[in-house]
Amino acid sequence: MNDRPQQVLKEVFGYKDFRPRQREIIEHLVSGGDALVVMPTAGGKSLCYQIPSIIRPGVGIVVSPLISLMEDQVGALRQSGVRASYLNSTLNAGEAFSVEERFVKNELDLLYVAPERLLTPRFIELMEKSEIALFAIDEAHCVSQWGHDFRRDYLELNILHERFPEVPRVALTATADEVTRREIAQRLGLEGAKVVVTGFNRPNIRYSITEKTKPREQLINFIEESHRGEAGIVYCLTRKKVEAIAGWLVEKGFKALPYHAGLPAEVRRANQERFLKEDGVIMVATIAFGMGIDKPDVRFVVHLDMPKSIEAYYQETGRAGRDGLPSEAWMTYGLQDIFMLKQMIDSSGLGEERKAMETRRLDALVGLSETTECRRRVILKYFGETFPGKCGNCDTCIEPVETWDATVPAQKALSCVYRTGQRFGAAHLVNVLLGKETGRIKMLGHGRLTTFGIGMELDAGGWRSVFRQLVAGGFLSLDIGGFGSLKLTKDAWPVLRGEKRLFLREDKSGERGDKVEEKKERKGRRGRRTEKGENTGLAEALKRLTRGLAEAAGVLPHHILDDFAIKEMARYLPADLSGMRRITGMGEHKLERYGESFLEIIREHKRLAEELTETIAETVDLFRLGLVPERIATERGLGERSIYNHLATAIEKGVLKLRDVLDIQDKEVLNIKNAFLVQPGGGGGGGGGWKMALKPAYDSLGGAYTYEVLQCVRSDLLRERRG
Ligand code: ADP
Ligand code: ZN
């Protein structure tokens, strides 16, 4: 077998198969060719340059603009036994010098360098003295002057090509758009490079977009319903809102932290670190957060406010589910979002052409939000990709959107806009349609209009939905200068004149009444997401070990193993090192270092499971991790009584000690035991048939102890009696 890439994939990284196109990129680079790689976030770009750097003689130089990403990758690589280092502003002179020395002596496989440092005469001189395996230019879209991440230093990277023409180069990006791609090739002198563009689909992410009604409650429902205790990001438009939402979540008992550019650098760093290291932290953030965050187990990304384009939406939601496990992207939006964003474009100081382009981008996202088609299909189409059929993993696929003939209500709404002089926003118009005698309506004399009170067939939420969809559909325009007043467009007239019928989507979360039952049903259908055959107690124990090992090694837990690997272990229960070798991500280096520690926990769990039934063993696992019975009950979706039954059985079998479970004094224990022993026909008489019923003991103790306590003590008594 002389398949070096495959061998490195397995032995170093612990993966069985290449992802689509990885192999061809790697082989092309190994043989000295240049490449331009466009793959979605989490598509597996890093391996494309890491493996060739390991295989080719010399050091692979990776240009990366993000310090956190460098540190993350180097941390992970070292855990796999790869000789990786970085050079950036966080190192002091001495540290930097020793890294440089290892570089020149060819003692590294990979060296990550910030672009500004790479371009210094000093570093170029070092490179000339060294052997270089390849240049990888990560986040290559940073050369694009139109993009949001433009970096001036990136423009100068084409000197690499001039100075080191024989060294292969690979540029990588997740930015899909065709214009940016051409710009990268041209600016980096990669016109002759092999271009590899993979599909952009992220099948494990579920997309849902819903009308904004009561955003805070909607948010809490979303988290409670399907993501309790999981890590997620909640994006908000403004710093103020970030603070408010983070505070509110904390108040409601969630582990939430704020992140925005206005916070002191130390606070930002500390919050980011907690997000990466701890379990189940919710980061409430502006878009200042996320670039270069490589956390694999982000289970959900929420947009409480709408981003400005499908590109931004896709990039931000793409931070969910890097580990490939099921994850969710959920957004709420309303008319006020469109208004805010249009206002931002308007006051941006950009040229007219650019403003028009930004407006088109925003409109495309509004279109995605209002679509009745499969969301994934619409997103991928935007990136020039055809997704065949329906994905089955977005809100419109899971619950097809109903449309209704809204021609008459639309006419009423449009005519109300017209009659009030095209000078008012949706809130006021809704009041007119519903015939509300507000102060404003009285003052303006709008109670006398023919459209006053003609809209009783819908409630306020229903009307808001109609106005929103009329804006999204281009029948009404939002006047930015006029504080969000609505104006008719030329497309409105055919509807008003009755020449065009209009179908609108039925909003699910809207307040059109009668939806409560349906919602309950939906909730039931979603159910718990734990897969069959998975053991949460054991998985928790393995996770805890991972955290402990990470802390000892001074790295992040996912550098050792990610959740995907942990779940695999908890499902397949490897018995020895060779079984362990089959776990995804368990390369030789990690196997040698950590394999035995993981096996120990698995063996202990198996021993328990043999002694007890699987379900009791599971409860005991969780109990040993320090979870209180109530928590175990919710975690497992069982009643608290069952949990105590499990614990009592474990006490009886001697797996747990009574003292571990109950926090009561020896004197009290004796007292309770006595209450059992003195029962007529009880153990005390020594005769046959032990009864030891709970109720008489409860009564004779005057109800001083709960049944759960009595049950545990009784189990202890039974254990003693059996000897
Ligand atoms: P990105 O394209 O965003 O740089 P990464 O290179 O970080 O993505 O890869 C995303 C995740 O997928 C990482 O956890 C990585 O280890 C994993 N991965 C990449 N290639 C493979 C593979 N062939 N088999 C299994 N996991 C892989
Ligand atoms: Zn779909």
Quote the tokens at residue 435.
Answer: 């015939």
The pLDDT value given to residue 611: 78
Is residue 172 within 8 A of residue 142, CB to CB? The reply is no
Q: How far does the centroid of ligand 1 lie from the alpha carbon of residue 534, in Å?
A: 23
User: Ligand 1 pocket, 73 CB below 6 A?
Assistant: no
Give the 3-state secondary structure of 26-53: HHHHHCCCCEEEECCCCCCHHHHHHHHH
Segment 400-421 mean pLDDT: 91
Cβ atoms of residues 462 and 469 within 8 Å: no
pLDDT for residue 403: 85
Nearest bound ligand to CA 49? Answer: 1
Alpha-carbon distance values, 187 to 137, 160, 536, 656 (Å): 12, 12, 50, 67
Measured in angstroms, how far is the CA atom of residue 48 from the centroid of ligand 1? Answer: 9
Residue 332's beta-bridge partner residues? 210
Q: What is the pLDDT of residue 259?
A: 96
* Ligand 2: centre distance to CA 391 (Å): 4
> Residue 339 to residues 305, 346, 362, 367, 443: CA-CA distances in angstroms?
11, 10, 11, 15, 26
Tokens of 40: 């979605």
**Sign of the four-CA dihedral 23, 26, 28, 31:** negative
Q: Who contacts 272 (Cβ-Cβ below 8 Å, separation ≥6)?
A: 68, 259, 283, 289, 293
> Relative to the CA of 584, which ligand 1 atom is closest?
25
DSSP-derived 3-state class of residue 578: helix
Could you give the C-alpha distances from 402 to 360, 375, 390, 396, 488, in angstroms and in order?
27, 15, 16, 10, 26
Looking at residue 686, what is its pLDDT? 46
> According to the model, what pLDDT value does residue 236 have?
96
* Packed helices 375-382 and 352-370: angle between N→C axes, nearest 10 degrees: 160
Atom of ligand 1 nearest to the CA of 564: 14
- Give dist(CA 530, CA 549) in Å, integer: 26
15 lines ligand 1 (CB under 6 A): yes
Contact indicator for 168, 130 with CB cutoff of 8 Å = no
Closest approach atom of ligand 1 to CA 45: 2
Closest atom of ligand 1 to 16 CA is: 24
Q: For residue 176, what pLDDT is reported?
A: 64
Per DSSP (E only), the strands in 392-524 are 403-405, 476-479, 485-488, 503-505
Give the atom of ligand 1 at the shortest distance from the alpha carbon of 558.
14
For residues 683 and 717, is the Cβ–Cβ distance under 8 A? yes
Residue 523 pLDDT: 39
pLDDT band for 203, please (50, 70, 90 cuts): very high
User: Ligand 1: does its nearest atom lie under 6 Å from the Cβ of 39?
Assistant: yes
More confident site: 665 or 257: 257
Distance CA(419)–CA(449), nearest Å, equals: 7
Residue 249 near residue 282, CB atoms below 8 Å: yes
- Ligand 1: which of 21, 47, 79, 564 to mutate, most ligand atoms within 8 Å of CB? 47
Interval 512-540 mean pLDDT: 48
The structure tokens listed for 229 are: 């205790």
Residue environment code for 331-362, b if the CB has 16+ CB neighbours within 10 A, otherwise e: bbbbbbbbbbbbeebeeeeeeeeeeeebeebb
Q: What is the DSSP string of 359-374?
A: HHHHHHHHHHHH-SS-
What contacts 538, CB < 8 A, 6 or more positions away? 570, 573, 601, 602, 605, 618, 621
Rounded to whole angstroms, the Cα distance separating 716 from 701 reads: 18
Amino acid code (one letter) for 230: E
Average pLDDT of the residues in 67-85 = 92
Torsion of CA 597, 601, 607, 611, to 10 degrees: 160
The pTM (predicted TM-score) of the whole model is 0.74
Residue 46 CB less than 6 A away from ligand 1: yes
331 C-alpha to ligand 1 centroid (Å): 26
Q: Convert the pLDDT of each residue in 547-605 to its tens digit.
A: 999 999 989 999 999 888 998 898 888 999 999 999 999 999 999 999 999 999 999 88
Ligand 1 centroid–CA 298 distance in Å is 15
Return d(Cα 573, Cα 611) in angstroms, integer. Answer: 17
- Ligand lying nearest the CA atom of residue 377: 2
Evaluate: CB of 296 within 6 angstroms of ligand 1.
Answer: yes
Ligand at shortest distance from the CA of 205: 2
Cα(60) to centroid(ligand 1), Å: 18
Residue 49 in contact with ligand 1 by CB distance below 6 A:
no
Closest CA to ligand 1's atom 18:
44
Mean predicted confidence (pLDDT) in 509-531: 39
What b/e readout covers 414-448, taking b as 16+ CB neighbours within 10 angstroms?
bbbbeebeeebbbbbbbbbbbebeeeebeebebee
> How far is Cα 591 from Cα 569, in angstroms, rounded to an integer?
13
Instruction: Give the Cα separation of 147 and 156 in Å (integer).
Output: 17
Kindly identify the ligand whose nearest atom is closest to the C-alpha of 388.
2
Beta-carbon count within 10 A of 691 CB: 12
Say how many Å lie between the CA of residue 374 and the centre of ligand 2: 4
Residue 163 phi, psi dihedral angles, 5° rounding: -75, -35
Please name the residue whose Cα sits nearest to atom 17 of ligand 1.
44
Torsion of CA 591, 594, 595, 598, to 10 degrees: -150
Token pair, residue 337, equals: 């979002």
Q: Strand 403-405 relative to strand 327-333: parallel, antiparallel, unpaired?
A: unpaired
- Name 233's Cβ contacts closer than 8 Å, sequence gap at least 6: 282, 283, 284, 285, 289, 290, 298, 300, 301, 302, 316, 319, 320
d(C-alpha 651, C-alpha 21), whole Å: 55
Range from 81-90, 510-519, 531-540, 701-710 carrying the lowest mean pLDDT: 510-519
* Residue 148: band (very low, low, confident or very high) from pLDDT cuts 50, 70, 90: low
43 lines ligand 1 (CB under 6 A): yes
Nearest-atom index, ligand 1, CA of 47:
6
**pLDDT of res. 51:** 98
Q: Which residue has its alpha carbon closest to ligand 1 atom 23?
A: 18
293 band by pLDDT with thresholds 50, 70 and 90: confident
Name the closest ligand to CA 375. 2
**Separation of CA 105 and ligand 2 centre (Å):** 53
Ligand 1, atom 12, lies closest to the CA of 44
Q: Mean pLDDT lowest for which of 250-254, 394-398, 454-458?
A: 454-458
Q: Which atom of ligand 1 is nearest to the CA of 296?
A: 14
Average pLDDT of the chain, as a whole number: 88
Give pLDDT, residue 152.
Answer: 86
Most ligand 1 atoms within 8 A of CB, residue of 41, 46, 563 to mutate: 46
Rounded to the nearest whole angstrom, what is the distance from the C-alpha of residue 393 to the centroid of ligand 2? 5
| pLDDT band with cut points at 50, 70 and 90 for residue 614 | confident
Q: What's the pLDDT score for residue 520?
A: 39
How many angstroms is it from 38 CA to the middle of ligand 2?
23
Task: Render pLDDT for 219-258 as a digit per residue (tens, 0 to 9).
Answer: 999 999 889 899 999 999 999 999 999 999 999 999 999 9
Instruction: Name which residue sits closest to atom 5 of ligand 1, judged by CA.
Output: 44
Is the shortest distance between the CB of 47 and ligand 1 below 6 Å?
yes
Residue type, 256: A
- In single-letter form, the type of residue at position 401 comes to V
Cβ of 8 closer than 6 Å to ligand 1, yes or no, is no
CA of 376 to the centre of ligand 2 (A): 5
Q: Which of 503, 525, 560, 661 is nearest to 81 (CA)?
A: 560
301 CA from centroid of ligand 2 (Å): 17
- State the average pLDDT over residues 495-499: 90
Query: Which pLDDT belongs to residue 524?
Result: 35
322 in contact with ligand 1, CB cutoff 6 A: yes
At residue 174's C-alpha, the angle toward residues 173 and 177, to 5°, is: 95
Q: What is the pLDDT of residues 78-132, one digit of tens each?
A: 999 999 999 998 899 999 999 999 999 999 999 999 999 999 999 999 999 999 9
Give the Å distance between the CA of 68 and the centre of ligand 1. Answer: 17
What is the model's pLDDT at position 689? 46
Say whether pLDDT at 414 is over 90: yes
**DSSP three-state, residue 662:** coil
Report the 3 state secondary structure along 240-303: HHHHHHHHHHHHCCCCEEEECCCCCHHHHHHHHHHHHHCCCCEEEECCCCCCCCCCCCCCEEEE
**Cβ(295) to ligand 1 under 6 A?**
no
The greatest distance separating any two alpha carbons of the chain, rounded to the nearest whole angstrom, comes to 98
What's the average model confidence in pLDDT over 628-638? 88
- Which of 19, 24, 584 for mutating ligand 1's site (highest number of atoms within 8 Å of CB)? 19
